[in-house]
Amino acid sequence: MTERTYTHNITPDMDGEKVSVAGWAHEIRDLGGLTFIILRDREGTIQATFKEDDDEELFEKAQEIGREDVIYVRDVIEENQQAPGDRELKPEELEIIGEAESPLPMEVSKDIDSDLATRLDNRFMDLRRPEIHAVFSLKSHLVEAMEEWFDQNKFIRIQTPLISKGGAEGGAELFPVVYYGDEAFLSQSPQLYKQMLMAAGFDRVYETGTAFRAEDFATSRHVSEISMFDVEFAFIEDHDDVMDVQEQSLKYTLKELKKRAADDLDILGVELEVPEEDFPRITFEEAREILEEEFDHVPDDEGDLDTKGEKLLGDYFEEKGHPAFFVVGYPGEKFYYMQDVEGDEIASRKFDLIYKGLELSSGGQRQHDFDTLMEYMEKQNVDPENFTFYLEAFKFGMPPHGGYGLGIDRLVKQVAELDNVQESILFPRTPDRLTP
């Protein structure tokens, strides 16, 4: 492995020490007998200064460097308050180990915005930009922190199939695949398998995985292949237990992210606020009333909130100091949610979490009674024959349980203050994008 030191670890107090660095020629400034090369690696940038009077041969070799060439340099660190980061490199050896063609397909070092399509078409180059790299460094820290909370709270990490016989949401949103001559589908959600594991006695589970939605969309918040953080746990009292877990884990994640991803947030220019107070919990009816009374907005679908409604509610609660809140009690929900419970003042025990005006997750208490589950499948014209493997788990002792699925890409979008969820995915998939 090539011996090298990441730029982030080179500090002014290392004056006089020798290091080896490797990366890309981010910027080149030629001032006659003086050439500055800004070298970039995954941790940051550092200036290397080549002087003709110091080493003519090395200086001439530096003239051969083109922007985005991959270079390897052995250097002496010098403290310099005029240089970026108050330190620079005085090279002793230089090797160009990968030349870049010219012109570049898009700008990396200059402050020139490219449209999203151009960026995604040239994603390998787009990802070289420090602010884009910061998004995915932040995403890594985010997932790490979230998984850490669940590990500390004795949840078991699971991995469910990405190919299944049926879907949890409905056939219109499924991607069919040929599975040894039979029809199968890419997973929309690990929902059904999570519930089966409650019957298996796993008690508390989580999964960081992938799901697929065959929706024909053209929005800034949808993609066809999504990263999901799914949670399910048993022996709950009601849906409030599920919201408690989501709230606590998200607060922990954001708090840790502010520390672990401080450099990334700084590059992105984001001031991340960690909610201290409890997330408000309002009913579906209350949400509709706020929209109508405060904004004169009535969503077309009587059983849902639309994108504009979520955004308006986000503004409403952010003004009150609450970036995150729950909406509870959606009517007409999927058969696996507990609903129409005697004594409840809400239509169902299903909730959505909205963060900065965007729905991040859906969850709630599931129906654990077999007969009631069958009744709702019949009401919703769901053929039990397609869910035999799932229903068997309810016949032999199923505890009360609930859970949720959170969109990791959407959470990153909101934290990093991105315009489009595709920007939070390395290689996004949409109805019109299958490459790169």
Which DSSP string do the residues of 10-75 spell out, in sequence order? --GGGTT-EEEEEEEEEEEEE-SSEEEEEEEETTEEEEEEEETTT-HHHHHHHTT--TT-EEEEEE
Q: What is the pLDDT of residues 404-426, one digit of tens each?
A: 999 999 999 999 999 999 999 99
CATH 3.30.930.10 fits 130-424, yes or no: yes
* No. of helices (H) and no. of strands (E), the chain: 12, 16
Query: Tell me, what's the pLDDT at 172?
Result: 62
Separation between Cα atoms, residue 147 and residue 207, nearest integer Å = 9
Q: Break the chain into its structural domains and give their ranges.
A: 7-98, 130-424
Name the average pLDDT for the chain.
Answer: 95
How distant is the alpha carbon of residue 3 from its chain centre?
A: 32
Beta strand pairing call for 176-179 and 156-157: unpaired
> Is the CB of residue 268 less than 8 Å from the CB of residue 135?
yes
Q: In a 10 Å sphere around its CB, with 0-12 CB exposed, 13-18 middle and 19+ buried, how is residue 327 labelled?
A: buried
Confidence of residue 428 (pLDDT cuts 50, 70, 90): very high
User: What pLDDT is recorded for position 170?
Assistant: 55
Q: Is it the case that residue 341 has pLDDT exceeding 70? A: yes
Strand (E) positions, 250-376?
A: 281-283, 324-328, 350-355, 358-365
CA distance 244 to 252: 12
Q: Which residue has the tokens 């985010």?
A: 142
Strands annotated E in 103-203? 156-157, 163-164, 176-179, 182-186
Task: Average the pLDDT over each of 12-21, 37-46, 162-171 and give the range with the smallest value.
Answer: 162-171
State which CATH number among 3.40.50.300, 2.40.50.140, 3.40.50.2300, 1.10.1040.10 fits the domain covering 7-98: 2.40.50.140
Across the range 279-288, mean pLDDT stands at 98
Mean pLDDT across 325-340: 95
Q: Characterize the bridge pairing of strands 44-51 and 350-355.
A: unpaired
Amino acid at 273: E
Give 223-277 pLDDT, tens digit per residue. Answer: 999 999 999 999 999 999 999 999 999 999 999 999 999 999 999 999 999 999 9
Stretch (H or E) spanning 211: strand 204-212
The residues with which 207 forms a beta bridge, in sequence order, are 230
Query: Out of 89-98, 105-114, 275-284, 354-363, which region has the weakest mean confidence (pLDDT)?
Result: 105-114
Q: Give the length of the chain.
A: 436
> Which helix or strand (DSSP H or E) is residue 194 part of?
helix 191-199
What integer pLDDT is reported at residue 168 of this predicted model?
62
What residue type is assigned to position 288 of the chain? Answer: R
- Token pair, residue 264, equals 């990334």
Q: Where does the pLDDT of residue 171 fall: very low under 50, low under 70, confident under 90, or very high at 90 and above?
A: low
| Structure-block tokens of residue 214 | 């065959």
Burial 113-150 (b: 16+ CB within 10 A, else e): ebeeeebbbbbebbebbbebbbbbbbbebbbebbbebb
Evaluate whether 47 touches 83 at the Cβ level (below 8 Å).
Answer: yes
Contact yes or no for 23/41 (Cβ under 8 A): yes
DSSP string, 218-276: -SSS--SEEEEEEEEEES-SSHHHHHHHHHHHHHHHHHHHHHHTHHHHHHHT--PPPP-
Question: Can the peptide bond before residue 428 be classed as cis, meaning omega within 30 degrees of 0?
Answer: no
* Res. 169 pLDDT band, cuts 50 70 90: low
**Residue 206 above 70 pLDDT?**
yes
